[in-house]
Amino acid sequence: MTSEHLPVDPAAGPVRVLIADDEALVRGGFRVLVDTEPGMVVVGEAGDGATAVDLTRRTRPHVVLMDIRMPGVDGLAATREIAADPDLADVHVLILTTFDHDEYVVDALAAGAAGFLIKNTEPAQLLRGIRVVAGGEALLSPGLTRRLIARLTARTASPRLDPDALAQLTARERQIVALVAYGLSNTEIAAELTISHATAKTHVSRAMTKLGARDRAQLVALAYRHRLVEPPDPGP
């Protein structure tokens, strides 16, 4: 674990994964799953949040699989510390937990997590989630998005925007922000608008820059808070 300055670019090699969970059996199961998947490699394991942050700085993974409830420094605090470190800007945290509670989701995304999955997710979905997050996109467990949006718009995780910032968005960028808010990935946006994946990604990045959004989750919150799209009914 001496690869401090390896380029954090999934296209340049295998997706590097760090596993943070206080249960050794859980870490072992995830390690076997990830290490046997072509194009992925586990670069370290941590049993608590403090160790996870330390190993993240030393191994520079593309993705950290982070449990929420761990002794000492928990997963949310560790995620917050990783997200606040400019040297770790290319590291993406994917929260894995047994708790499907809205407050955990909102807190995790507010802390800087790029995604959220429940531990009983199918293996194929987990592996797909790792690749999605490694590619810089947000990921939410199926069924959580609509409830999450309603809560994100009511929380302080997204700042109020200056009207001038909204005015900077082009018509196409507004259209794409709406599609992001509806939960579409860059690939799905490209298919919906008949544009290239690279073009979709560029529009999303420009919209995030203009609105000052840290990540796609915050972009979603801003879109609903400022009525770029109408908030959905959160349902039961």
**pLDDT tens figures, 152-173:** 555 544 455 666 778 889 999 9
What would the DSSP string read from start to end of 165-176? HHHTS-HHHHHH
Tens digit of each residue's pLDDT (9 = 90 or more) over 94-134: 988 776 665 666 677 777 888 888 888 889 989 988 998 88
Q: What integer best gives the mean pLDDT of the chain?
A: 80
| 56-60, 156-160, 180-184, 216-220: which is most confident | 56-60
**In contact, 76 and 97? CB cutoff 8 Å:** no
Overall pTM > 0.85: no
36-40, 84-88, 122-126, 151-155: least confidently modelled range = 151-155
Helix, strand, coil percentages in the chain from 3-state DSSP, rounded to 5:
50, 10, 40
The boundaries of every CATH 3.40.50.2300 domain in the chain are 10-142
**Torsions phi, psi for 117 (to 5 deg):** -135, 150
CA distance 63 to 42: 10
pLDDT the model gives residue 202: 93
Just give the CATH number of 157-225: 1.10.10.10
Just give the CATH number of 10-142: 3.40.50.2300
The boundaries of every CATH 1.10.10.10 domain in the chain are 157-225
Q: Which amino acid is at 171?
A: A
CA distance 186 to 193: 11
